[in-house]
Structure 1
């Protein structure tokens, strides 16, 4: 699940500003726009778990229905609702669009500065930053929906940031 917030991306007076982060352009070594795809393996595992949960509810409904017809109807209705919910979740997960990251490398390690669902916006911003590095007269300002991701990692682990899930 990703939450978005509108942030400003600005280059002015040789300073790159992304939200509340500031990068002097002379210290930016590389800027890249990369695609981040959701981890399909984790999605498949979650769907398989949901399938077995739904299967267990259907077996329970059949057993309760054999013992008591009224209670079996209630459990059967619950099984239908859970099945529809699991199918909705599965379709929603597999239709999720990829995100695009703006990765900035300075003297330290690469840092994901911006995450957006629009490839053209991220590519344009990366190009403008590189143009501003080469030409001090370049200035720009753009507002972008920046996504804060919950449930997966955009920027590697907290220790070494070497386990990126991007391709």
Structure 2
């Protein structure tokens, strides 16, 4: 799964919340919430175990066929190849289990949503406090620069004008 990041500026000025180049009037914000997101550990680990058994069985069959045909070096090479691939999958598993994201979601009265995805939950917590404080305080102004992560495909849909997948990451 591809992950891209970009630094975006989040500002409240003159009762407008700016997230990058998108503007949201503070009086139209219906909900602001922070959510922590991580991998579904059970699913990730069960997929890894299935792949270990599958690739182990495939490697064992190929190695035994090569060994039976008198190609011991091919059998050894296949064995090492399968072990190297399984080690690579194990490293991927550890990376996936270590990923944690903190999401700040802003929802307006019209159903429009903006999401800021960060690896720093303190940063999104501070931003949540600042946005909710600015809703009740007309004089409030602030500015943050946050590394915003995008995981997966980009889909653009505005009303009935669905233009589908914009880009695959």
TM-score by structure 1 length?
0.80
User: Aligned with 2:9: secondary structure?
Assistant: strand
* Bigger fraction of residues in strand: 2
Q: Is the 8 A contact 1:103 1:114 kept in 2?
A: yes
8 Å CA contact 1:31–1:105 kept in 2: the answer is yes
The correspondence for 1:79, drawn from 82, 94, 102, is 82
Q: 1:102 aligns with which of 90, 101, 104?
A: 104
CA apart distance, 1:57? 3.5
Instruction: Give the structure 2 partner of residue 92 of structure 1.
Output: 95
> What is the aligned residue count?
150
1:112–1:47: structure 2 CA closer, same or farther, 3 Å change rule? Answer: farther
Following the alignment from structure 2 to structure 1, what is the Cα–Cα distance between the partners of residues 88 and 63?
A: 17
Unaligned runs of 5+ in 1: 152-167
| In structure 2, distance between residues paired with 1:112 and 1:36 | 16
**Distance in 1 between the 2:86 and 2:31 partners?**
48
2:129 paired with 1:122: no
Shift of 1:72: 1.5
Shift of the 127–14 alpha-carbon distance from structure 1 to 2, 3 Å rule, reads same
Query: CA RMSD of the aligned region, Å?
Result: 1.9
Q: 1:63 aligns with which of 60, 65, 68?
A: 65
What does 1:1-167 align with in structure 2 at a 5 Å threshold? 1=1, 2-59=3-60, 60-67=62-69, 68-96=71-99, 98-109=100-111, 111-150=113-152
Structure 1 segments of 4 or more deviating over 6 A? Answer: none
State the shift of 1:46 in Å: 2.8
Task: Render the CA deviation track for 1:12-69: whole Å, top value 9, x for unaligned.
Answer: 1111011122100111122111112222344134313321332124312233123211
SS at match of 2:111: coil
3-state DSSP of counterpart to 2:65: helix
Look up the match of 1:157.
none
Aligned to 1:156: none
